[in-house]
């Protein structure tokens, strides 16, 4: 039995350790090979101040700690039955590729151990390296600590169809059946639709045990409402003060950033639940970067925060236009019935009516300390109490970066991660490994957490078609 375990050899590429320093400990009952060239490449990255440099240093520390248990050259046995061993290249191996980089040296190492009788499998996140290995008949797989697929990831809600007669009950009987089956997570939503009429629906939130609560349209002071059931679910989580952590996922145009901003502004400006709203997003360009941006940090951030400004302008325009129309109607009413009102008193009434519920532009809110636009780079080491925190484009963050941000959340704060897991601009992340999806998967079922996948684009018909066709 021991011999069979030793014959199974998983060879880890450098990028796997840079992605997850604990990767050698994620396998059970196999031999884990770390080629010598991988150690040399880790040594090159360890001096970087980036997340990649941090992971390189951590990986080296993990391997250094194993030296206390034995020789890495011969193999060190782990508690889970695996063996970690440093592999060395053999000079007698010839490749159909030139030795121009570390990848080819790594390939020659694997061929040498394959010739010795090991069942070698190459684990790498480098597509080209996997192609080369496959051409040499070495099985290759991508490293995924989280086995998350695009079809089966946690969306935060499920859809069920029932006969229309069940809508006569306060809680449709289907909910009891789902609770008994134990298929729901805490704070997961159930979208109950009529079998022959999807426009007839109700939304319920699972509270644990056999308890559900009906989700109704929130009473906002502003004339903005959810446009579909998923937006209703999202607003329910965003406005629920018992939910301290929210993840919003979905394609472009589904309203993730808009809903998060709307709820945040209402909580800060109307309900005064939080002292201010902090907004941040990773600095990852789409396409070729145009280079350094001029100005101080505020001016540099403005370019990266343009999507926030766009959504804020729409909210401000809609709310203030509604308030303006209400003011005109109120003024006409008072002009008709209060012709003898003192002019000074009448002017004061107009001013008060105009200011109530109106929203200032984003820059004015920032000046007054109600909104803060900040760079993610400077969030490490902070403690952020009594704030509504929105991290936009979170799909471009690594799980470690998300951990660093979420652990900054202080007393009385709420944090929202929003992003499109299908549009990842970071070259080191994919659908299964980005911080947004991984965090949502790990936090599901926690009482203070909720997530919603928004599937319907509400931006425009063109935006919807582009998402489907391109």
Cα 290 to Cα 28, 293, 466: the distances in Å are: 46, 8, 25
* Mean pLDDT along residues 131-146: 82
Q: Is it true that domain 230-311+363-469 has CATH number 3.40.50.300? A: yes
pLDDT tens per residue, range 210-229: 999 999 999 898 989 999 99
Task: Pick the closest to residue 106 from 41, 43, 48, 54 (CA basis).
Answer: 41
* Contact indicator for 34, 87 with CB cutoff of 8 Å: yes
pLDDT of residue 152: 79
Write the pLDDT tens digit of every residue in 286-345.
444 444 556 555 666 777 788 888 898 999 888 888 666 666 655 555 554 455 455 444
Contact 360, 323 (CB under 8 A): no
CA atoms within 13 A on the CB side of 145: 21
Bridge partner residues of 201 (DSSP): 193
pLDDT at 169 over 70: yes
pLDDT at 287: 45
350's tokens: 């107009």
> What band does 90 get if pLDDT is binned at 50, 70 and 90?
confident
- Indicate the DSSP class of residue 270: I
Split at pLDDT 50, 70, 90, the class of 6 is very low
Residue range(s) of every CATH 3.40.50.1010 domain in the chain: 2-141
The residue among 252 and 189 whose pLDDT is bigger is: 189
Beta bridge mates, 9: 31, 120
Give the residue range(s) of CATH 3.40.50.300 domains in the chain: 230-311+363-469
Provide the pLDDT for residue 333: 53
- For 394, list phi and psi in degrees, rounded to 5: -70, -10
Instruction: Supply the pLDDT for residue 2.
Output: 43
Exposure of 296 in the CB half-sphere (CA atoms within 13 A): 2
Predicted confidence at residue 391, as pLDDT, reads 95
Torsion of CA 283, 284, 287, 289, to 10 degrees: 50
CATH of domain 2-141: 3.40.50.1010
What confidence category does residue 445 fall into, taking pLDDT thresholds of 50, 70 and 90?
Answer: very high
C-alpha pair distances (Å), 133 with each of 32, 119, 276, 307: 17, 14, 53, 42
The percentage of residues in the chain with a pLDDT greater than 90, rounded to a whole number, is: 41
Tell me the C-alpha distance between 167 and 232, whole Å: 19
Q: Which pLDDT value is given to residue 401? A: 86
């Amino acid at each position: 039995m021991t011999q069979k375990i030793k014959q199974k050899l998983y060879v880890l590429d450098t990028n796997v350790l840079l992605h997850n320093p604990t990767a050698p400990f994620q396998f059970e009952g196999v031999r884990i090979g770390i080629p010598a060239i991988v150690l040399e490449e880790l040594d090159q990255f360890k001096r970087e101040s980036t997340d990649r440099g941090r992971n390189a240093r951590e990986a080296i520390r993990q391997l250094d700690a194993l030296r206390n248990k034995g020789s890495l050259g011969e193999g060190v046995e782990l508690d889970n039955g695996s063996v970690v061993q440093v592999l060395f290249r053999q000079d007698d191996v010839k490749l159909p590729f030139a030795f121009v980089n570390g990848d080819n040296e790594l390939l020659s190492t694997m061929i040498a151990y394959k010739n010795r009788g090991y069942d070698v499998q190459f684990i790498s996140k480098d597509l080209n390296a996997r192609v080369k290995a496959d051409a040499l008949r070495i099985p290759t797989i991508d490293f995924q600590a989280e086995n998350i697929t695009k079809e089966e990831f946690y969306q935060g809600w499920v859809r069920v169809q029932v006969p229309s007669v069940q809508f006569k009950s306060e809680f449709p009987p289907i909910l009891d059946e789902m609770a008994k089956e134990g298929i729901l997570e805490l704070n997961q939503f159930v979208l109950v639709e009529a079998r022959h009429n999807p426009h007839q629906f109700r939304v319920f939130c699972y509270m644990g045990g056999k308890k559900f609560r009906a989700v109704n349209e929130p009473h906002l002071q502003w004339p903005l409402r959810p446009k579909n059931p998923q937006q209703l679910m999202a607003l329910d989580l965003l406005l629920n003060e018992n939910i301290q952590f929210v993840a919003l996922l979905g394609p472009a145009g589904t309203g993730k950033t808009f809903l998060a901003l709307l709820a945040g502004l209402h909580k800060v400006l109307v309900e005064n639940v939080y002292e201010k709203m902090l907004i941040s997003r990773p600095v990852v360009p789409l396409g070729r970067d145009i280079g350094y941006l001029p100005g101080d940090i505020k001016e540099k951030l403005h370019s990266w925060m343009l999507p926030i400004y766009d959504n804020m302008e729409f909210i401000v325009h809609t709310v203030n236009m509604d308030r303006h129309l209400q003011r005109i109607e109120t003024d006409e009413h008072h002009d008709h019935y209060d012709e003898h009102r003192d002019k000074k008193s009448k002017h004061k009434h107009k001013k008060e009516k105009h200011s109530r519920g109106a929203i200032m532009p984003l820059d004015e809110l920032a000046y007054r300390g109600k909104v803060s636009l900040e760079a993610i780079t400077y969030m490490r080491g902070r403690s952020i109490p009594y704030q509504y925190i929105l991290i936009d484009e979170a799909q471009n963050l690594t799980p470690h970066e998300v951990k660093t941000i979420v652990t900054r959340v202080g007393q009385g704060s709420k944090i929202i991660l929003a992003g499109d897991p299908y549009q990842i601009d970071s070259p080191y992340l994919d659908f299964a490994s980005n911080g947004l999806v991984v965090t949502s998967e790990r936090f599901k079922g926690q009482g203070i957490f909720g997530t919603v996948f928004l599937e319907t684009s509400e931006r425009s018909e063109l935006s919807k078609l582009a998402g489907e066709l391109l």
